[in-house]
Structure 1
Amino acid sequence: MKRLRIVVVGAGHLGRIHGRLLKTVDGAELVGVVDPVPAARDQVARELETTAYADIDQLPSNLDAAIIAAPTVHHHELATRLLKANLHLLIEKPLATTAQQARELVWLANERRRVLQVGHVERFNPAWNAARGQLGRVRYIEAKRESR
């Protein structure tokens, strides 16, 4: 089975988590981490034993997908460039800063026949699912989450 070659764009808290989790997926290969901040990208690349890139223009051409975990203000530009490079994308929420930008990304993904997915990962959190079963129809929950 071919392993999906994936890059993480953004070396902050969520980028680090996505990279760490990707390393546990049998069908995936973490190819690198992209971040314009040298200290951040180098540290995360070292931790994850992968390659550090300063910009998506430096990425190898044989990638399958990318995870965008950069600040929201950069989502539209990064996603547009990566979709035009024919990559499938998982983008941390929100998809874009405006509804118009989000529509443009959906249109481009459809045009290129690429998967464009928003990272609503908490919807699948086992604690949330357990609460749903215990509390009936939950409309809103507020919690303080702590992790290392």
Structure 2
Amino acid sequence: MVKVGIIGLGKWGKNHLRLLSKLPVHVVGIADVDGSKRQLAEEFDTNFFTDYKKLLPLVDAVSVVVPTNYHYQVVREALESGKHVLVEKPVTDDAEKTRELVGLASEKGLLLSVGYLYRFNPAVQKLKELVKTAGRLQYITARYVHSTNPPRKDSGAVLNLGIHMIDILNFVLEDRPKRVYCKLVNSVHPKREDSAMIMLDYGHFFASVEVSSCHPEKKRDMWVIAEKEKIYAD
């Protein structure tokens, strides 16, 4: 049985623990700098560590669910220790560091996977199926908007919300844009955008992605306008 560990026990780390505990794997331990999270280890009958480095020698794979600014450090140490890694998105907040980690995983023959959970949403799976017979694509519009109060401290709207919509496009279209344009707005936090409009140019069609963490509605939807079909996914 695969031995796994979870590093980071915030909101999403708790979800990883809950779901991994239902799978045919052995959750060897969990790690968080907050010692009060020890109660989760007792609840799920596993070991608790305040230093994740002590967990690494005991497992085959880890879920990394720490704040974004710690991803690079934790993922790198896990890979260097020979562990497979599932990391919450984004891999890091720096493209070069992300490429470095991808290269390290490849060099060591390890899996480095990112938590793009919407690929497994039935609506996205159906959208991928329908697009294949929709004819020549004309344009796509997508939205991921809601209100986050207080705003996240570790990432802006693009890395928190937009990254999911772009991954859905990558998955559904099985294609990559030739050029990307983006306009950011910083209304709440001086260093992190709370809204953005992203334009992806695929050559013969385009996709626009609107993201915001200060929108009065909560919406995650997409229109695909094609020659034969007009498809809406919510």
Moved more, 51-60 or 83-92: 51-60
**Could you say what secondary structure the match of 1:24 adopts?**
coil
Higher mean alpha-carbon deviation, 9-18 vs 46-55, is at: 46-55
Q: Structure 2 stretches of 5 or more lacking a match?
A: 146-217, 220-234
Indicate the residue corresponding to 1:71 in structure 2. 67
Which of 73, 80, 93 pairs up with 2:89?
A: 93
For the residues of structure 2 that align with 1:60 and 1:100, how far apart are their CA atoms?
25
Following TM superposition, by how much is the alpha carbon of 1:105 offset from its aligned partner in structure 2, in angstroms?
0.4
More helix by share: 1
Query: In structure 2, what is the equivalent of residue 140 of structure 1?
Result: 142
Match of 1:13 in 2: 11
What residue is the counterpart of 2:55 in the other structure?
59
Query: What is the identity percentage for the equivalent residue pairs of Structure 1 and Structure 2?
Result: 31
Question: Could you state the TM-score of these two structures normalised by the residue count of structure 2?
Answer: 0.54
CA distance in structure 1 between the aligned counterparts of 2:101 and 2:86, rounded to whole angstroms: 12
- One-letter amino acid of the counterpart of residue 9, structure 2: A
1:30 maps to 27
Task: Say whether the 8 Å CA contact 2:7–2:63 is kept in structure 1.
Answer: yes
Number of equivalences: 141
Q: How far 1:125 sits from its partner (Å)?
A: 1.8
Could you tell which deviates more after superposition, 57-66 or 17-26?
A: 57-66
The structure with the largest strand share of the pair is 2
Q: Tell me the TM-score normalized by structure 1.
A: 0.83
Question: Equivalent residue of 2:142, what SS?
Answer: coil
2:160 aligns with none
Change (3 A) 1:62 1:51: closer
Distance 1:103 1:60, change over 3 A: closer
Equivalent position amino acid for 1:97 in 2: D
Task: Please say if 1:125 is aligned against 2:121.
Answer: yes
Q: Which 4+ runs in 1 deviate beyond 6 A? A: 131-138
Distance 1:13 1:60 in 2: 22
Compared CA separation, residues 80 and 61, structure 1 to 2 (3 A)? same
- Measure, in 1, the Cα distance between the counterparts of 2:128 and 2:109: 35
Partner of 2:102: 106
Structure 2 vs 1, CA of residues 68 and 60 (structure 1 numbering), >3 Å: closer, same or farther? Answer: closer
Amino acid of the structure 2 residue aligned with 1:77: Q
Q: Distance in 1 between matches of 2:58 and 2:34?
A: 24
1:123 is displaced (CA, Å) by 1.9
Deviation of 1:141 (Å): 3.9
In structure 2, C-alpha distance between the alignment counterparts of 1:87 and 1:15, rounded to whole Å:
18
Q: 1:64 to 1:139 in 2, by over 3 A?
A: farther
Q: CA RMSD in A?
A: 2.3
Whichever of the two has the greater Rg, that structure is 2
Closer/same/farther in 2, CA of residues 52 and 62 from structure 1, 3 Å limit: closer
Name the aligned partner's letter for residue 29 of structure 2: G
Cα distance in structure 1, aligned partners of 2:100 and 2:54? 25
Pair 65,95 (structure 1): closer, same or farther in 2 beyond 3 Å: same
Q: Identify if the C-alpha distance between structure 1 residues 29 and 134 changes in structure 2 by more than 3 Å, giving closer, same or farther.
A: same
